[in-house]
């Protein structure tokens, strides 16, 4: 099943991850602490700047290199959630920023000096219906004044910059609901305590996610990315890469559960024989392998389309759906065959089980993907 793509990257990431074993992740998970040492090691090794062009100090590789990095982190038992957005959030600046913005920020993002890994879209009342966001940025001379609220904004406390989606024209005043939104780069170093409040949300996983409150936060107008009013389209544009990369993390999770499940099934003896000698234990693992392998092919397919600059929205969505369901099935079967030990923290199965569950909800929930396929691919009537 193993991919052959980017074997040298995979080996190097696996070597790095071996320095951060289950014990490391368990300790952080218990106390909900950010994996600073791990993120620093990835940064120093250059793995978080694979997508940044060489002229800005990155390695200028394609999306496949980034999928290899994230898959291997997850296969090793670790979690890329603490820093995966440092790999792709900069895409918004790279694709839509001005030459000055690129020159000012991208080299620092490539070196890791600037952490650009907060992405502020979701709001408590709008939910998935992004055109209903109400966080508003009012132009005032050469500044924007921001008021509103965001929720589930991950890594906000560990970011120097945030890509923030706001309304700059009320929904009622635009022709299409997706117009009138804009993207601003917020410098968190200046903003916290000067109009921005960050409140951490404790969740079932260690994900450093937060709630943000904007109270007359003033941001220089030069921090606008691209054109005012076009922000929704810029954000949509980055979503394919995000979905493919998250799908790669799910593939890594799936392989983790298959590796651990197979090893345990061979080792654990009950009724005088290995539990893996029973077909009742073998078949669910075999099925998980089939599902993870099929999902991995869809991830590869979506990645190839993305790298060839071809439309890949549907494929990226399908890859994310299949991979998140395959990893969850593998997680459930792996936990089951571990019996009581599956619940013991020291085996890491329960932690990874919790972690991989997220991906059926974020960054986009399964129903919304099914709705996309139903209406955009099958031509069924729109339901909303
Ligand atoms: C740990 C974590 C980290 C996150 N990080 C970020 C981040 O960094 N930045 C950010 O902007 N967001 C982030 N999110 C938000 C995430 O993208 C959303 O939670 C996700 O998109 C689902 O949106 P929602 O929670 O508003 O669900 P809702 O939109 O409230 O939907 C609730 C449920 O109803 C279903 N549903 C809604 N409408 C329909 C419909 N028309 N038909 C069928 N089913 C429907 C959905 O599929 C879902 O299952 C994060 C979330 C979590 C939990």
Look up tokens 């839509």; give the residue. 96
Q: What is the pLDDT of residue 2?
A: 55
* pLDDT classification of 1: cutoffs 50, 70, 90: very low
Verify whether ligand 1 is closer than 6 Å to residue 271 (CB atom).
Answer: no
Ligand 1 pocket test, pick from 132, 134, 362 with the greatest ligand atom count within 8 Å of Cβ, gives 362
* Continuous segment of H or E residues that includes residue 197: strand 196-200
Question: What is the tens place of the pLDDT at every residue in 47-62?
Answer: 999 999 999 999 999 9
* pLDDT classification of 4: cutoffs 50, 70, 90: low
What is the Å distance from ligand 1's center to 59 Cα? 33
For 96, residues 6+ apart whose C-beta sits below 8 A from its C-beta are 183, 225, 226, 234, 237
For 220, residues 6+ apart whose C-beta sits below 8 A from its C-beta are 142, 143, 144
Indicate whether 359 pLDDT > 90. yes
Q: What is the pLDDT of residue 114?
A: 98
Look up tokens 């939104």; give the residue. 181
* pLDDT classification of 237: cutoffs 50, 70, 90: confident
Mean confidence (pLDDT) of the chain: 97
Average pLDDT over residues 356-382: 98
Verify whether ligand 1 is closer than 6 Å to residue 367 (CB atom).
Answer: yes
Ligand 1 pocket test, pick from 128, 165, 238 with the greatest ligand atom count within 8 Å of Cβ, gives 128
Verify whether ligand 1 is closer than 6 Å to residue 362 (CB atom).
Answer: yes
Q: What is the pLDDT of residue 8?
A: 97
- In percent, how much of the chain has pLDDT > 70? 99
Q: Which atom of ligand 1 is nearest to the CA of 155?
A: 8
Nearest CA to ligand 1 atom 30: 127
What is the Å distance from ligand 1's center to 367 Cα? 10
Question: What is the tens place of the pLDDT at every residue in 90-143?
Answer: 999 999 999 999 999 999 999 999 999 999 999 999 999 999 999 999 999 999
The DSSP bridge partners found for residue 149 are: 213
What is the Å distance from ligand 1's center to 127 Cα? 6
What is the Å distance from ligand 1's center to 361 Cα? 6
Ligand 1 pocket test, pick from 34, 84, 122, 242 with the greatest ligand atom count within 8 Å of Cβ, gives 122
Q: What is the pLDDT of residue 3?
A: 52
Q: What is the pTM of this model?
A: 0.98
Q: Which atom of ligand 1 is nearest to the CA of 154?
A: 8
177: tokens are 């609901």
Question: What is the tens place of the pLDDT at every residue in 12-36?
Answer: 999 999 999 999 999 999 999 999 9
Task: For residue 364, give the nearest of 269, 243, 209 by alpha carbon.
Answer: 243
3-state secondary structure of 181: strand
Verify whether ligand 1 is closer than 6 Å to residue 365 (CB atom).
Answer: yes
Question: What is the tens place of the pLDDT at every residue in 293-321?
Answer: 999 999 999 999 999 999 999 999 999 99
Q: What is the pLDDT of residue 168?
A: 98
Nearest CA to ligand 1 atom 3: 152
Looking at residue 362, the DSSP 8-state letter turns out to be S
């Amino acid at each position: 099943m193993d991919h052959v793509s980017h074997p040298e990257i995979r080996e190097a990431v696996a070597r790095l991850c071996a320095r951060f074993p289950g014990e490391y992740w368990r300790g952080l998970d218990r106390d909900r602490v950010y994996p600073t040492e791990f993120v620093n090691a990835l940064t120093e090794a250059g793995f978080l700047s694979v997508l940044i062009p060489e002229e800005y100090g990155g390695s200028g590789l394609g999306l496949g290199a980034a999928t290899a990095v994230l898959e291997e982190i997850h296969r090793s038992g670790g979690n890329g959630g603490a820093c995966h957005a440092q790999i792709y959030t900069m895409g918004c600046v790279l694709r839509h920023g001005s030459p000055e913005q690129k020159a000012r920020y991208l080299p620092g993002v490539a070196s890791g000096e600037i952490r650009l890994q907060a992405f502020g879209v979701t709001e408590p009342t709008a939910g998935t219906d992004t055109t209903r966001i109400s966080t508003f940025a009012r132009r005032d001379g050469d500044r924007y004044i921001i008021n509103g609220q965001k929720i589930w904004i991950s890594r906000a406390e560990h970011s120097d910059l945030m890509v923030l989606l706001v309304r700059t024209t009320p929904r009622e005043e635009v022709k299409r609901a997706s117009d009138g939104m804009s993207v601003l780069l917020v410098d968190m170093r200046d903003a916290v305590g000067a109009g921005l409040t960050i409140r951490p949300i404790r969740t079932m996983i260690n994900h450093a996610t937060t709630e943000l409150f904007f109270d007359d936060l003033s941001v220089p107008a030069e921090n606008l990315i691209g054109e005012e009013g076009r922000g929704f389209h810029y954000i949509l544009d980055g979503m394919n890469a995000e979905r493919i990369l998250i799908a790669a993390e799910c593939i890594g999770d799936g392989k983790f559960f298959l590796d651990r499940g197979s090893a345990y099934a061979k080792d654990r003896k009950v009724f005088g024989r290995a539990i893996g000698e029973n077909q009742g234990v073998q078949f669910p693992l075999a099925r998980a392998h089939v599902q993870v392998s099929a999902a991995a092919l869809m991830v590869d397919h979506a990645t190839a389309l993305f790298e060839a600059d071809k439309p890949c929205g549907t494929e990226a969505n399908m890859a994310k759906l299949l991979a998140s369901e395959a990893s969850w099935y593998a997680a459930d079967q792996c936990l089951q065959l571990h019996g009581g030990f599956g619940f013991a923290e020291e085996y890491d199965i329960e932690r990874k089980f919790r972690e991989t569950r997220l991906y059926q909800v974020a960054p986009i929930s399964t129903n919304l993907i099914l709705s996309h396929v139903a209406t955009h691919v099958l031509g069924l009537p729109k339901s909303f």
